[in-house]
């Protein structure tokens, strides 16, 4: 029996109620005023909405990869993966950034986050450039890898995507494109930032190649082994975790524009992450990607746009509303075009008496 779309939102709604209650309580404890309580409550809701808007394309890509994974690894990603996403990327990641850039230990970083949130936020902002370089490189590789795949059989923008598929026959074409973008962006940065930007970007490229290569290796031995990493298992899990981390960069840093309270950020983005998880499960179980043929394309165009924005973030601030709006618009247009295609196909079959 097919579950209703609303049934997938059971746990996210429960987490939303608990999370918003904690946001309000945190506001009361922090400020001791009713206005503080309401302010924290509103910011918690905005952070959750921000995370959903920025990560909907993440849910589509997750669903596409999860279909290839064994049931046990699907469950592991949807349980361990969400814990890593919420606690690792929304709490530990910002602390790790401060610890690295301020040359202090993680416990001192936690103390700084709670005792001097403004200084903590300042360090995060200082690290924005290198983080954007890493995330932009990784996400651009993810998007280009999809479009230059010679085995891809469905095209949305036919002329562009056919040309990219042909270019895929050129060895390491996508790497050359990304390196050209990195060098181009670097020309507009102050010389003092060249080293950190290039190091972070090349590290993003290296991580993508390692994770992608590991996934292919493990998939390649799947037919002849029963190892724990076989058939879309460990390799795909690691790939999705790094992908989720790259998607999270923008949301985590953008959150500091609304509040410097790390606990409130973790609550708000954690609520949003639960909705992304539920959307992923729904897309997998209902076979939505197969039903709407251009939805996956819209997600990867959105990923490419996000990667460009992350590179631009190294030069100037791009409002999160624009970032989320572009991704939402691309996926929405892909959804609309998929519905149109299904209607046209149904009309052709009806006319042919099929």
pTM of the model: 0.80
* Residue 352, in any domain of the structure: no
pLDDT of residue 1: 52
Query: Is residue 49 included in any domain, yes or no?
Result: yes
- Report the pLDDT value the prediction gives residue 180, as an integer from 0 to 100: 95
- Is residue 143 a part of any domain in this protein? yes
pLDDT value of position 226: 46
Report how many domains make up the chain. 1
pLDDT of residue 230: 45
Cα angle 255-260-264, degrees, rounded to a multiple of 5: 70
Residue-range definition of the domain harbouring residue 248: 5-347
353 domain-assigned: no
Closest C-alpha to 100, from 119, 124, 70: 124
Buried-state track 214-238, b at ≥16 Cβ within 10 A, e below 16 = bbeebbeebeeeeeebbbbbbbbbb
Q: Which residues in the chain come in under a pLDDT of 70?
A: 1-3, 5, 54, 85-87, 90, 215, 218-233, 249-250, 253-254, 257, 354
- Is 116 among the domain residues? yes
Contact between 206 and 43 (Cβ < 8 Å): no
* Structure tokens given for 82: 């969400």
Is 298 part of any domain?
yes
Task: Give the residue carrying structure tokens 């085995």.
Answer: 151
**Could you tell me if residue 354 is inside a domain?**
no
| Residue 151 covered by a domain | yes
Rounded CA gap, 199 and 29, in Å? 42
């Amino acid at each position: 029996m097919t579950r209703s779309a609303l049934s997938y939102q059971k746990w996210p709604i429960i987490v939303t109620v608990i999370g918003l209650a904690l946001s309000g309580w945190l506001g009361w404890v922090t400020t001791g005023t009713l206005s503080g309580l309401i302010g924290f409550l509103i910011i918690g809701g905005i952070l959750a909405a921000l995370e959903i808007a920025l990560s909907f394309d993440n849910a589509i890509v997750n669903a596409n990869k999860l279909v290839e994974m064994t049931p046990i690894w699907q469950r592991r990603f949807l349980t361990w993966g969400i814990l890593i996403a919420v606690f690792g990327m929304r709490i530990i990641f910002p602390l790790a950034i401060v610890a690295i850039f301020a040359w202090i230990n993680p416990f001192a970083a936690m103390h700084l986050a709670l005792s001097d949130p403004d200084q903590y936020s300042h360090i995060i902002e200082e690290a924005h450039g290198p983080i954007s370089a890493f995330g932009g490189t990784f996400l651009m590789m993810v998007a280009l890898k999809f479009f230059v795949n010679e085995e891809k059989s469905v095209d949305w923008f036919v002329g562009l995507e056919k040309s990219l598929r042909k270019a895929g026959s050129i060895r390491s074409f996508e790497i050359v494109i990304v390196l050209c973008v990195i060098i181009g962006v670097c020309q507009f940065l102050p010389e003092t930032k060249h080293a950190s930007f290039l190091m972070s970007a090349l590290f993003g490229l290296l991580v993508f190649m390692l994770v992608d290569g590991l996934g292919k290796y493990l998939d390649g031995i799947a037919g002849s082994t029963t190892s724990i990493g076989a058939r879309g298992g460990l390799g795909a899990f690691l790939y999705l975790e790094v992908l989720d981390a790259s998607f999270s960069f923008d949301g985590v840093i953008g959150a500091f524009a609304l509040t410097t309270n790390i606990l409130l950020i973790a609550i708000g983005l954690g609520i949003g992450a639960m909705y992304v998880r539920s959307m992923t499960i729904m897309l997998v179980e209902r076979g939505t990607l197969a039903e709407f043929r251009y939805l996956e394309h819209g997600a990867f165009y959105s990923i490419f746009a996000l990667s460009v924005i992350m590179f631009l973030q190294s030069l100037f601030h791009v409002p999160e509303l624009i970032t989320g709006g572009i991704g939402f618009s691309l996926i929405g247009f892909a959804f609309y075009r998929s519905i149109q295609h299904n209607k046209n196909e149904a009309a052709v079959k009806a006319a042919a008496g099929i």
